[in-house]
Structures are given as C-alpha cells and as structure tokens.
Amino acid sequence: MNEAKKNVLLSWSSGKDSAWTLLKLGQRSDVEVVGLLTTVNQEFDRVAMHAVRRKLLEAQAEVAGLRLWVVDLPWPCSNHAYETIMADVLVKARAKGVTDVAFGDLFLDDIRKYREDRLENTALRPLFPLWQEPTDVLSREMIDRGVVAHVTCLDPRVMPREFAGRRFDHSFLQDLPEGVDPCGENGEFHTFVSAGPMFSRPIDVVVGKTEERDGFVFTDLNFSG
C-alpha cells in the first residue's frame, strides 16, 4: 500500500529560497503543497522583513496556483506575541489536514533548531528540502534555471546599499563583497522572486525608490505599468 502524501504548508518569504523550495517539493511524489504561509507586517501591509507589498505576494500565490495563508503581525511585535500567533496558526493548519511545514533554510543550525522546537508539540513535521546544499552551487543553479529575483532588503553593515534593487544574477554574485553568502543565508540580503520554473507565468515588476530604516536598506517593488 502506498503511503499517504504529505500535505505540506510552505513557509514563504517571497524570496528565492522559498521559491526554490517550492520547486523541489513539486518534484516529489510523496508531497502535496497545500499553501504558502507568510507573515505580514500589519502596520505597513508588507511581508515581514522583506517589505514586499501584499499585492505582489498575492500575485506570487496566484502564479504558483496555491492558497496564501497570511499571518498578520502587529507592529512592533515581540517574540512572545509572534510565537503565540504562530502557535494558533499551526493548530488551525493541523485541523485542516496539514501534516508538514517546509522551510527554505540552508545551513543555520540555530534557525533549524528553533523551527523544530516550535513544531515539536504540534503533530506537524518540519521539512528542510534545501538543507546543506552548497550555496555557491545553489545560487548559480537558481539563476541558470530561470529564477528572476531582485534584492528588496539588505544589511548595509556587510553590503553596499547600491546592491539594493539589483537583480539576482551572475553579475550580482560576482560583485558580492567577500564573506557575503551567495544566497544571503546569514541575513545579508533578501529577495523577491518574480519569475521562475515554479510559476506559471512571470510577474512584471519595476524597481522603485530605495530608503534606509531600522538599520536596513529597502527597495520598493511594484507592478510595472
């Protein structure tokens, strides 16, 4: 007898690692991705940390053909409040038949441990499809397979602000300062994916203004035209 498929909720940041995780999950016969789970800053109506507009997030879900699970977070949001809100979401997910939650983490052990701990008593299992993939190889593979992404947020302590808004391509990788992970896994930069093999069609976006706030540099993206 064949084992039942895993009903997977994918933790979705709107960036390249989440998008690549979706692609990887779609290649597995034992998995059914049932939705994209995203936290949104309620005050600014944008994806938490990445600062991507909600309407662009909704466009991603549409071209991915998946339901969007939006978790609205207050601003400011304490860690305790965040964990309380997420715990309630996970209970509801389990009640709706979700069996696993997938993450696009690459190599940070403390982040993985945190996620595993949060799921420990939920009956939901964590999945890490990209775990320990070499980021230099992975970043080039994403680009070669047609992933189109732009930098929406960066840490100016480790990268020049001029990288904000740049397309994630081979030229970008070549120009990265020494010590910056090619996938930004240490939080050096975050992206928004507008096209790739995980989407049915591209999302046409235009790069807007860049500004610095709360110690990070953000670039606004919007629909082109």
| CATH code, domain carrying 105 | 3.40.50.620
Residue 120: predicted pLDDT: 94
In terms of Cα–Cα distance, which of 9, 10, 13 is closest to 192?
Answer: 13
Write out the DSSP string of 86-118: HHHHHHHHHHTT--EEE----S-HHHHHHHHHH
Kindly state the percentage of the chain with pLDDT values over 90.
92
List, for residues 198-219, the tens digit of each pLDDT value. 999 999 999 999 999 989 999 9
pLDDT at 76: 86
104 within a domain of the structure (yes/no): yes
In a domain, 134, yes or no: yes
Quote the Cα angle for 168-169-173, to 5°: 90
Q: Is residue 149 exposed (0-12), middle (13-18) or buried (19+ Cβ within 10 Å)? A: buried
Residue 1, in any domain of the structure: no
- Report if residue 188 sits inside a domain: yes
What distance in Å separates the CA atoms of residue 138 and residue 129, rounded to the nearest whole number?
A: 12
Q: What is the pLDDT of residues 143-153, one digit of tens each?
A: 999 999 999 99
Q: What is the pLDDT of residue 125?
A: 97
- Number of domains into which the chain is organized: 1
> Could you give phi then psi for residue 130, rounded to 5 degrees?
-105, 5
- Please name the amino acid found at residue 41: N
Structural domain containing residue 94: 6-223
| pLDDT tens, residue by residue, 50-67 | 899 999 999 999 999 999
Angstrom distance (rounded) from CA 172 to CA 110: 28
Q: Which of 90, 128, 97 is nearest to 34 (CA)?
A: 97
- Distance, in Å, from the CA atom of 70 to the CA atom of 60, rounded to the nearest integer, reads 13
With respect to residue 52, please indicate whether it lies within any of the assigned structural domains.
yes
Kindly report the length of the chain. 225
| DSSP H or E segment with residue 45 | none
Angle formed by the axes of helices 79-95 and 109-119, nearest 10°: 60
Residue 48: band (very low, low, confident or very high) from pLDDT cuts 50, 70, 90 = confident
What is the value of pTM for the model shown?
Answer: 0.96
103: Cβ contacts below 8 Å, ≥ 6 apart: 11, 21, 112, 115, 126, 127, 128
